[in-house]
Structure 1
């Protein structure tokens, strides 16, 4: 019986540079967990790292401005211009 492959749409491309040690560590981690690809391993490690820091993977409903490092000023919250 052949099962249908589930396709997950990927909207953004990210290119990163790794040191030889990082590349080797990624492959060791990937193979020890039988991950299908380096990309899948990187996505899983990113998800785990974000979760460990208290961030959930976005569900697509939040804007980048929702992730700001500083809060809104009182002028912005009551409608006044700074």
Structure 2
């Protein structure tokens, strides 16, 4: 799948204030669409929290609520 193809759909509900914030950010950053703005905000938020792309073949069971303060390790796919 090419980088421009989107294989999954994610539907979210926002209140009026959240939508205004997304739209204001989108126009300020000259993003081409609301979807592009939301993807970029998600990417930036996850990156700022230290999350990266899960390794190929990772199972959803590898991610979840942890007991205590156990460290979480997420690997990224190796580049060729």
TM-score (norm. length: structure 1): 0.67
TM superposition outliers: structure 1 runs of 4+ over 4 Å: none
Map 1:24-39 → 2, pairs under 5 A = 24-39=20-35
Q: Which residue of 1 aligns with 2:71?
A: none
- Cα distance between partner residues in 2 of 1:50 and 1:7: 19
Identify which range, 56-65 or 8-17, moves more after superposition.
56-65
Q: Hey, which of these two has a bigger chunk of helix by percent?
A: 1
Q: 1:42 to 1:59 in 2, by over 3 A?
A: farther
**With CA pairs under 8 Å and 6+ residues apart, which has the higher RCO, 1 or 2?**
2
Q: 1:42 to 1:60 in 2, by over 3 A?
A: farther
Q: Which residue of 1 aligns with 2:61?
A: 65
Q: 1:55 aligns with which of 48, 51, 70?
A: 51
Return 5+ residue gaps in structure 2 as ranges: 68-80
Q: How large is the Cα RMSD of the aligned pairs?
A: 2.0
Identify which range, 15-24 or 51-60, moves more after superposition.
51-60
How many pairs does the alignment contain?
66
